[in-house]
Chain A
């Protein structure tokens, strides 16, 4: 390939040349296209599948389409079918791919021992066993059968806060388990 070939190809490939010489004087159609453009494919087109979802931020409930390729989320867009949002997302909703793929996501258990100054690693199943032990002990240590002769059957030693960002099914199991345990200080953002 000679130098002249390269120059002329470069020069002739300028969009403005195509715009002036071609059938697209406003430069809003074919003139603006290039080989590079033609080589691009939207991630939404090459995705393996699309999941219908809902934005996790505020309570408007905008529809989201979650595009997945090779078991990774590659794009999240507004769902144009949604009568709530008609395909729109706000800055937060538009950043939700960034949310779920953030490099700061915590993906392993972190453990801070009493009086510790740093995090330690812990296996998930070990952590679960430890938490179960502590719940059983706290419940035993703080169990209250009576309050002024009135039956209360509860513990005031275990509390929980959270739920407004969670699913109904999750809140249902949370309340069911804590209630059976006798824990009553179960609260969420709706009190705040």
Chain B
């Protein structure tokens, strides 16, 4: 955090100054470690084992925050008789089909649930393809609102007991053996975590892509969530799980998504054959019978369609629902890049993104771009993704020949953040409006300008068309006020459309509760409604921090409804009183209003006048069914999910799987790696072998990557900037003194790192920031690389992301690019054709040179069968 989010880290130091204990768990000693009370180095890819050990410590010693756990989580809920755990099936859960490598989750359901009800919303093959599983996360799991419970937590099939059995194996000794951490260091962390949780104290977990970029990344965060729920650290000040995101508005681009499976406000893109009508689509979101605010999905969906298609969207035509294109499978960025290599994609837009350096498997990225009709790159600088045809590594090896590369490239200069106005949403969901300081130079333009005028030009070309397919473009509400000499659309008018307004009066909506399902209001992103409350741009508020409370509610605006901490009803006990005075945040005040109100330091994340004593009438659903003791108001049962009966492809509980590339056999279960992961097996994507496959010793070391303070991701905003290029001028590879001795590496000299995809060189940095770990009785060396360099900019170097192959988390289709195996050799790598031969030699020695189908399932029926992975059939059904 001190390296990649240094200014945010000031608050960690502030907490430390007030007595907080700071623990840093990381493969490598960093600036964060230097300032922490305790630094625990661990083996890359073993975080679930580590956190699972802490969960086991909590459960074996009865250290959970029992009153919180019983009242606010699903610990008491009784699960189906048919459920079988990884403990029973050696690393698999019940319902596994080795042919598709997916689960039928019927046996994971709560007891008494009619599994027939689960029907078609539970097809995990479709869910994995469409990254739709986690829609249940944002939409609340669609469980029934009143499942059977045992509040003594003694029932053998209650969630609490299942959890206890599931994690019983994660003893301090097993953690030590798996993670390479001493039992003493592990127990110190477990003790600190539990001693700093409870009524009077809270513990926060902070993570970044070191948790997400894994084939089991979602379950990393789930493990953190289980621990934080058990210890009562959710919805409370100083608690939570903080995702430190790495781009100025990556949160915003998730909320108002440029993502294939989502529409604004986490509404799902409709799936062909499932969401055939407006009603099908909306019922799939609202889960009739469940609790919570998703019950109002009809209003959110209709308001989006009205914002898109304006007057053309009427109740009679289902508000133009049929204008939405349908998804049928995996349309994620990695699938799309492979489709480029296969010649299926004609045009590609890159908008402030540099996949030639920043995405996993750089060669696949560049070969894909070299096989397009046209590529539009919009950026501040001449980045590698714009110049792959003239100076990429593949030009050097002869794999791309400029005179034979047909891709037409438009490099369109972009306006910088000070040359346009608009909002970024930062990592804690807060929108901040930026004022425009100056006009952009020359031909530089904002994306707002580019896309508005591109749309205008396309619509001009189609004007008069009678083709049905052109109606969505011609009927599009595409009319924004223009500003300045360059005809820039008015960003504030766009923000107003996002916020929503009454169609007849154009009165801005102040809350999504004002959205109507009859077409009389429109709003482009329901969770952002309120950013223009009272007609005021709330994101532009700038009351100084020194003039308001520590929650700082008058600086910017946070979704939803300016709440700064989500689920903050949980900061009070079931009766509505603060758990302790020290941790008071939001509470019920019986003396306020007509019959009491929720109040506190933050906007209550609860209906303000609904008392803690409220119990839902029989048969109710939606908001009415949320009881006074249900803080998790977006969940189908109002409770925090220790156990997840639906919504996750790889199981209802996290379990340790090895990274796809690992030198070790899984020490916990027979199933080696995530059996449900998404894997594209093709010659262009060869993966290093791992046990139980032979030849893993060809790649004996573990490597990982992360950022330097002085650079930003793929370098497009730092290698072209003098000061930053000067501060970190050269690609390097960090190794321990022990590994340097083993491989004959000289500090300051050259070395190269090799995988089945590439060889990458850099200067050697011998440092005890990395130390060998003892894992499963033998020593393992870990290698660390920054990933900022490429062929462009003021300082150039090899790209670490070229080393990674493509294997994806099954829930969200994010790649495993924080854990891989490699070899390390002294000196510079071969160049030109020799480089290809060099890498092919490694492929041959490791046995992955031919069209190699690897075993993915390693236990149970179908174990060790070669698996071709998930090359998706052509969605068009053609060639």
Contacts and interface: CB of A to CB of B under 8 A. Distances in A.
Contact of A83 (B251, B345, B555): B555
Contact of B328 (A59, A61, A150, A174): A150
B432 A132 contact: no
A81 B556 CA distance: 12
A153 B469 contact: yes
Contacts of A185: 260, 331, 333, 336, 345
A71 B350 CA distance: 29
Contact of B260 (A57, A61, A153, A184): A184
B589 interface: no
A98 interface: yes
Nearest to B707: A58
A9 interface: no
Contacts of A141: 346
A1 interface: no
Interface string A47-73: 001011111111111110010100111
A188 B437 contact: no
Interface residues of A, number: 118
B431 interface: yes
Contacts of B308: 176, 179-180
Contacts of B727: 91
A182 B412 CA distance: 23
A150 B7 CA distance: 51
A115 B403 contact: yes
A167 B492 CA distance: 11
Nearest to A172: B256
Contacts of A138: 346-347, 373-374
Contact of A100 (B351, B419, B458, B550): B419
B642 interface: no
B582 to A, nearest CB: 21
A167 B447 contact: yes
B88 interface: no
Interface in B599-655: none
A107 B441 contact: yes
Interface residues of B, number: 165
Contacts of A81: 542, 544-546, 555
Interface stretch (B225-233, B242-250, B665-673): B242-250
A59 B427 contact: yes
A141 B345 CA distance: 11
Nearest to B327: A184
Given A158-B345, A161-B333, A188 B269 contact: no
A112 B717 CA distance: 23
B724 A98 contact: yes
Contact of A58 (B4, B408, B451): B4
Interface in A91-127: 91-96, 98-100, 102, 104-119, 122, 124, 127
Nearest to B212: A192
Nearest to B375: A112
B353 A161 contact: yes
Contacts of B411: 106, 109-112, 119
Contacts of A57: 247-248, 712, 717
Contacts of B712: 57-58, 92
Contact of B498 (A82, A118, A129, A168): A168
B707 to A, nearest CB: 9
B827 interface: no
Nearest to B344: A156
Nearest to B376: A131
A167 B351 CA distance: 11
Q: Which of B469, B525, B550 is most buried by chain A, counting CB atoms within 10 A of its CB?
A: B469
Contacts of B352: 162-166
A61 B432 contact: yes
Q: Which of A66, A134, A156 is most buried by chain B, counting CB atoms within 10 A of its CB?
A: A156
Contacts of B793: 104
B721 interface: yes
Given A147-B875, A153-B469, A187 B336 contact: yes
B437 A66 contact: yes
B409 A89 contact: no
Interface stretch (B155-163, B318-326, B682-690): B318-326
Given A83-B548, A186-B258, A93 B7 contact: yes
A175 B423 CA distance: 16
Contact of B552 (A83, A98, A142): A83
Contacts of A49: 437
A187 B332 contact: yes
A52 B344 CA distance: 45
B869 interface: no
B417 interface: yes
A180 B458 CA distance: 11
Interface string B57-96: 0000000000000000000000000000000000000000
Given A81-B545, A156-B339, A179-B308, A161 B351 contact: yes
A168 B256 contact: yes
Contact of A60 (B410, B427, B555): B427
Nearest to A167: B422
A171 interface: yes
B437 A68 contact: yes
B792 to A, nearest CB: 9
A163 B347 contact: no
Interface string A136-164: 10100111110110111111111111111
A167 B420 contact: yes
Contacts of A16: none
B426 interface: yes
A114 B333 CA distance: 24
Contact of B345 (A112, A127, A132, A157): A157
A59 B247 contact: yes
B454 A128 contact: yes
Q: Which of A52, A55, A92 is most buried by chain B, counting CB atoms within 10 A of its CB?
A: A92
B403 A117 contact: yes
Contacts of A76: 418
B517 interface: no
B455 interface: yes
A159 B355 CA distance: 13
A6 to B, nearest CB: 38
B413 interface: yes
A111 B420 CA distance: 24
A52 B435 contact: yes
B702 interface: no
A35 interface: no
A59 B253 contact: no
A32 interface: no
Contacts of A166: 249, 253, 351-352, 447
B448 interface: yes
Contacts of B4: 58
B723 interface: yes
A155 B550 CA distance: 49
A64 to B, nearest CB: 8
A72 B438 contact: yes
Given A150-B272, A165-B248, A174-B258, 10 more contacts: A51-B437, A52-B435, A68-B438, A83-B548, A95-B723, A161-B355, A163-B353, A164-B352, A168-B424, A188-B351
12 contacts: A92-B718, A98-B721, A108-B442, A109-B443, A116-B402, A118-B390, A150-B272, A151-B326, A155-B325, A175-B257, A180-B476, A182-B472
Which are the 9 A-B pairs with shortest beta-carbon distances? A61-B426, A83-B545, A162-B351, A167-B422, A107-B442, A154-B325, A163-B258, A164-B247, A162-B353
